[in-house]
A and B are shown apart, each in its own frame.
Chain A
């Protein structure tokens, strides 16, 4: 499977190099590190590199506080689609810690969970599940396009008098929302 990353409404190749904890860092390029590895190196040691961090389920988003400027991608792991910890991590990163970079869902990413992920601030998806890939390519949206919770997304606006009722500013398809 070549293009596994779904972003801005299309599939693309994964341009990030996963570097294991015991592997040496390359001199340049985009590297994806474990949280532990990332925290163990100083920013200057990653000069010339664009750095991404994998946040495993159970790892605290808070651990990245103060270092987020140095991070271009955070890949939140969903070990099983029914493990919802990543949704909270995503919202915390976006809404509490103000993370502006790319937020990616990796692991067991399926069609019916993607709309929830988007609302929590995730904007790219590593998708290997075939039916999910097909549905995304075909633009088959299964979202309920009106929401009953305010989340900290700039592209959702209150609707009527209930401040918790929201609608997307433009009714766009899953995955096609502007950053």
Chain B
């Protein structure tokens, strides 16, 4: 993985000093809260319902055991013993004190971590496929480019006060595990006929109040032009994006209102003026950064008889192996998903002890690498298949062995009213109740692939628009209501879910979801047809009838 050189260290240290000074000036009153707010947000510090929240960057979701142990230490020392992994591959601490944040940042800097641009109207943490460098279907490693973009976007003098936040995601495989089409810029690594690496570029995707799928602006952008083209997009957005209404300020609205052809022409004009200039990526530099992400020295495959035996003898292991392993490019290796969705738990939460357990496992069995997925789980990307039973045993002892990756209980949920100042409804308790309803392992397996995503307000941090079943909590006359959407998806065949009908109360919503799932199971074309496939085949009618009767 990427390692800081002297320059990177100086950069992060100086940033900590700068932020510490900003905190000092806020506490002394030199900065008003209005003036301080964008500054603290640019360093991931939110003021939430009960306390400050610090969002720490985990660039493209990659970290090592030392960094994970540091997160555990911070959770214990400055928080209430846990952290929350987010849909943008970051981690949040919910209870830090303002005056302690400089100390936290200093501790993070010790392990080459920071909170730069995890919030605010700037370019956010660049996300990537959580199986990067491991997946069997990968064309090129997206982390190389995510790291280059991370660097280029850090404290960018021109783009630190954009109309609104700006999110970039990169996938290195044809199967999109990074939801690139619902990002402000989505990059899909491709190779052209000459075998050169480049990107298919999407612009203007996003969720929130006005969900939109990104529009393709380039089939093939050469690797060398990545920064120049990104700068051109950002410049057009910074100059012309709306600033009169924060709900219409994302680039997706600019795309929508300007029209994609005109906007594309603006971007290309800006790009022509700066391409072949100082932003051109030299091949040697890309290669040098790529070397940081070189595959570890894989060991010889172990005794896979151990694995096969565990399938027969260890309770729950067969289910775990069926759901939580992903094909690896190296023979004898797999990637292991560690679910942070225990039945009845808060999605994405991990205790300090659990973080340490994962760190130990990564150090012992996983070439010291850990990933955070945008589905709020953890991943050990490089593990020998033969070691999986031993890993499973440790996970099971620590409440981390739920065999539900991609299943109905692998729910994405925003923090909702339990923490968030913006939320209008609870989301975590809804996730917990759904999880309990479908908790029986056999039932989940039988239902198969199904993504439920829950947001506690219209800002859609829980990505409900792209859930196969999406749930949006809203407030109506002092009561929580939950609107259900069906048919959303965030992969290479992205789609925005459609509202199925009137919402349900907090009490009713779990029954409604169960009703939908039962309906699917009854009408699917065999067990091989997933919920999404069934929905796309039959449309909303049977589901509507199941929920609201025939009218």
Please, which residues of chain A bring their CB within 8 A of the CB of B157? 87, 115-117, 119-120, 147, 149, 151
CB of B279 within 8 Å of the partner chain: yes
Known contacts A119-B157, A151-B158; A87/B22 CB under 8 A: no
Please, which residues of chain A bring their CB within 8 A of the CB of B155? 116, 144, 147-148
Q: Measured between alpha carbons, how far is A117 from B282 in the docked complex, in Å?
A: 28
Please, which residues of chain B bring their CB within 8 A of the CB of A164? 148, 151-152, 227, 278-279
Q: Measured between alpha carbons, how far is A149 from B282 in the docked complex, in Å?
A: 14
Of all chain A residues, the one with the shortest Cβ separation from B21 is A142
Question: What is the interface size of chain A, counting residues whose CB is below 8 A from a CB of the partner?
Answer: 40
**A162 to B285, Cβ gap below 8 A?**
yes
CB of A85 within 8 Å of the partner chain: yes
**A163 to B285, Cβ gap below 8 A?**
yes
Please, which residues of chain B bring their CB within 8 A of the CB of A113? 161
CB of B160 within 8 Å of the partner chain: yes
CB of B154 within 8 Å of the partner chain: yes
A96, A116, A150, A162: residue with the most chain B Cβ atoms closer than 10 Å: A162
- Secondary structure type dominating chain B contacts: helix
Min C-beta distance of B168 to chain A, whole Å: 15
Chain-A contact segment, one of B182-190, B235-243, B300-308: B235-243
CB of A17 within 8 Å of the partner chain: no
**A84 to B160, Cβ gap below 8 A?**
yes
**B162 to A84, Cβ gap below 8 A?**
yes
Please, which residues of chain B bring their CB within 8 A of the CB of A84? 121, 158-162, 238
Chain-A contact segment, one of B4-12, B207-215, B375-383: B4-12
Of all chain B residues, the one with the shortest Cβ separation from A86 is B161
Q: Measured between alpha carbons, how far is A162 from B6 in the docked complex, in Å?
A: 13
**A163 to B282, Cβ gap below 8 A?**
yes
Please, which residues of chain B bring their CB within 8 A of the CB of A40? none
- Secondary structure type dominating chain A contacts: mixed
**A88 to B158, Cβ gap below 8 A?**
yes
Choose from A85, A91, A144 the contact partner of B11 (Cβ within 8 Å).
A144
Choose from A89, A91, A116, A165 the contact partner of B160 (Cβ within 8 Å).
A116
CB of B15 within 8 Å of the partner chain: yes
Please, which residues of chain B bring their CB within 8 A of the CB of A148? 11, 151-156
Q: Measured between alpha carbons, how far is A152 from B228 in the docked complex, in Å?
A: 13
**B151 to A82, Cβ gap below 8 A?**
no
Interface string of B12-26 (1 = CB under 8 A from A): 001100100110010
Please, which residues of chain A bring their CB within 8 A of the CB of B243? 83, 85
CB of B35 within 8 Å of the partner chain: yes
Q: Measured between alpha carbons, how far is A77 from B154 in the docked complex, in Å?
A: 24
Q: Measured between alpha carbons, how far is A88 from B159 in the docked complex, in Å?
A: 8
CB of B312 within 8 Å of the partner chain: no
Min C-beta distance of A162 to chain B, whole Å: 6
A116, A119, A143, A149: residue with the most chain B Cβ atoms closer than 10 Å: A149
Q: Which of B234-255 contact A (CB under 8 A)?
A: 235, 238-239, 243
Of all chain B residues, the one with the shortest Cβ separation from A132 is B30
Q: Measured between alpha carbons, how far is A123 from B162 in the docked complex, in Å?
A: 22
**B160 to A160, Cβ gap below 8 A?**
no
CB of B309 within 8 Å of the partner chain: no
Please, which residues of chain A bring their CB within 8 A of the CB of B151? 148, 162, 164-165
CB of B38 within 8 Å of the partner chain: yes
CB of A131 within 8 Å of the partner chain: yes
Q: Measured between alpha carbons, how far is A144 from B278 in the docked complex, in Å?
A: 21
CB of B39 within 8 Å of the partner chain: yes
Of all chain A residues, the one with the shortest Cβ separation from B278 is A150
CB of A161 within 8 Å of the partner chain: yes
Q: Which of B155-201 contact A (CB under 8 A)?
A: 155-162
Choose from A85, A135, A144 the contact partner of B14 (Cβ within 8 Å).
A144
Please, which residues of chain B bring their CB within 8 A of the CB of A159? 7
Q: Measured between alpha carbons, how far is A110 from B5 in the docked complex, in Å?
A: 32
CB of B49 within 8 Å of the partner chain: no
**A165 to B18, Cβ gap below 8 A?**
no
Min C-beta distance of A87 to chain B, whole Å: 4
Min C-beta distance of A108 to chain B, whole Å: 9
Q: Measured between alpha carbons, how far is A117 from B156 in the docked complex, in Å?
A: 11
CB of A29 within 8 Å of the partner chain: no
Interface string of B131-164 (1 = CB under 8 A from A): 0000000000000000010011111111111100
Give 16 pairs: A residue, B residue, CB < 8 Å, sorted on A. Answer: A84-B162, A87-B157, A87-B159, A88-B235, A96-B273, A112-B35, A135-B30, A146-B10, A148-B156, A149-B156, A149-B157, A151-B157, A152-B278, A161-B285, A164-B152, A165-B151
Interface contacts beyond A88-B239, A144-B15: sample of 20 additional A-B pairs, CB < 8 Å, sorted by A: A81-B161, A82-B38, A83-B243, A84-B161, A85-B238, A87-B157, A87-B158, A87-B160, A87-B161, A96-B273, A116-B155, A116-B160, A119-B157, A143-B14, A144-B18, A146-B11, A148-B154, A149-B152, A162-B7, A164-B152
